Each structure stands twice: as C-alpha cells, then as structure tokens.
C-alpha cells in the first residue's frame, strides 16, 4: 500500500495522532483535518485513495460531509468512524454514501484490514484524469495530449483543471471555485483569469462556460 493517500477527518486530536502514526507506519500518506469544513475542502481539491471520516465533527457533521461529497461526484471510498454503533446508525452512514462503518472503540488491525479491503475494491482514478483531448497527470501537473505532446501546467492551473476533471458534468460557480482552489484570493476574477490560462494552453474546449452558473469540464 506504499504511497496510498488517506484523508483522515477526526476532531479527537489524540485519536487522530495515533491513527496518523499507525497509518504512516503502514506506508500511507496521511493528510489530517480536525473539522468538517477543512475536510470537505481537502476532499474536493486534492486526490485521495481513501478517506476516514468521524461522524461527530465540528463545522460540518460527518454524514453531511459525505453526502456533499457524493453530491459533487467524489467517488473516493469512505470509512466512517463513530461511537454510534446501533444498526440504524450504521444504516444511516451507508445510506449517506460511505462504503464501510466501524464503531468506536475498535481494533487497529481491523481498521487496517477494512482499509485494505476498500482499496482492493476501488480502482485508482486519481492519478490520471480524463480531460478533452488528453489526460491530466496530477503528480506531474501536466496534460498528455492524445497525440503524445505533454503540456505543463502551473500549480493553480492543475488544481482548477483537476477539480473540474474529477467531477465531469458538474457545474461549479465562480464563488465555489474561488473557495476551493483560490482560497487566499479575494476576487472571483482570479477564477476567470485561470480559466483563460488553461484555455490558452489546452484550447477553449477544455473548460466550458455555463452562462449564469459557472464553469464545467469540456466544451459546450
């Protein structure tokens, strides 16, 4: 499992620290979030192979977070951790879009086994994303055109295109893109600027303008 990227969304600092150490020792690359809002942002803007989500999160509750991700087309497998262990609680977690549900307290070996099972059942779509006329390589921040030519992108160009490519068909408003990709910028015009940069490098058809709504992947 070396190099598998896991997003750990857990507000209990002691438990999160323990899981971080155990997962790192197992060869995972761990990204942590201590609240639902931060976790949602990370899950929408970065590629992960699997997510571990606590239910009782501040800012955005765990099952609400999962439902939002599934609504935006994020298919990354999710394991829910929760002190709520009744059958109906498990059903609620699975109905929200999670693939597995593990009640607290739990054995670390069981958690690791469940993660391995999720990864075996889930093909890795994160490293290569289809875009019009080629594929986006997240690691190298480049688009390999169908004819073989590679086009290099800046970090923000790749982040913008990667977000759209991970959710093909989903329309993102300029405000959403500003928040998810350009969170340190103040004006939505930065979104238009980077859409222009991507089109200039890859052609106008790579990102479509949906009048009155925002942008999505692909030509109109």
Report the pLDDT value the prediction gives residue 80, as an integer from 0 to 100: 96
Amino acid 107: pLDDT: 94
Whether 124 has a pLDDT exceeding 60, the answer reads no
Q: How far apart are CA 195 and CA 33, in angstroms?
A: 29
Encode pLDDT of 10-48 as tens digits.
999 999 999 999 999 988 889 999 999 999 999 988 878
What is the per-residue pLDDT across 64-122, written as a single tens digit (0 to 9) for each? 999 999 888 788 899 999 988 899 999 999 999 999 999 999 999 999 999 988 887 66
Output the six-digit token pair for 27.
């060869």
Nearest one of 58, 97, 14 to 80, comparing CA atoms: 97
**Longest CA pairwise span in the chain (Å):** 54
Assess contact for 93 and 121: CB atoms under 8 A: no
Residue 211 makes CB contacts below 8 A (sequence gap 6+) with none
Tell me the fold of 5-121.
Rossmann fold (3.40.50)
| CA–CA gap between residue 44 and residue 23 (Å, rounded) | 22
Contact 47, 138 (CB under 8 A): yes
Continuous segment of H or E residues that includes residue 144: strand 142-145
Is the pLDDT at 123 greater than 70? The verdict is: no
Q: pLDDT (tens digit, 9 = 90+) per residue, 136-147?
A: 987 788 999 888
Q: What is the pLDDT of residue 3?
A: 52
pLDDT digits (tens, 9 = 90+) for 150-200: 999 998 999 899 888 877 878 889 988 887 788 767 789 999 999 999 999
* Entry pTM: 0.61
Three-class secondary structure of residue 6 per DSSP: strand
CATH for the 128-217 domain, from 1.10.10.10, 3.40.50.1370, 3.30.70.20, 1.10.730.10: 1.10.10.10
- So what's the pLDDT on residue 220? 52
DSSP secondary structure, 71-83, as one string: HTT----EEEEES
Residue-range domain boundaries for the chain: 5-121, 128-217
């Amino acid at each position: 499992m070396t190099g598998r990227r896991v997003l750990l969304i857990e507000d209990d600092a002691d438990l999160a620290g323990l899981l971080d150490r155990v997962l790192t020792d197992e060869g995972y690359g761990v990204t942590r979030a201590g609240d639902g809002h931060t976790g949602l942002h990370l899950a929408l803007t970065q590629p992960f192979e699997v997510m571990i989500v606590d239910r009782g999160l501040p800012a955005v509750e765990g099952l609400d977070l999962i439902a939002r991700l599934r609504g935006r087309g994020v298919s990354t497998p999710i394991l829910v951790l929760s002190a709520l262990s009744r059958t109906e609680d498990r059903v609620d977690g699975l109905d929200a879009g999670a693939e597995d549900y593990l009640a607290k307290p739990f054995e670390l070996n069981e958690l690791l086994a469940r993660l391995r099972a999720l990864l075996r059942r889930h093909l890795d779509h994160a490293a290569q994303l289809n875009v019009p006329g080629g594929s986006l390589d997240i690691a190298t921040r480049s688009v390999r055109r169908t004819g073989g030519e590679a086009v290099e992108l800046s970090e923000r160009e790749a982040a913008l295109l990667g977000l759209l490519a991970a959710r093909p068909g989903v329309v993102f408003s300029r405000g959403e893109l500003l928040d998810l990709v350009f969170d340190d910028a103040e004006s939505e015009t930065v979104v238009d600027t980077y859409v222009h940069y991507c089109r200039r490098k890859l052609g106008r058809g790579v990102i479509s303008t949906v009048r009155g709504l925002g942008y999505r992947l692909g030509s109109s």
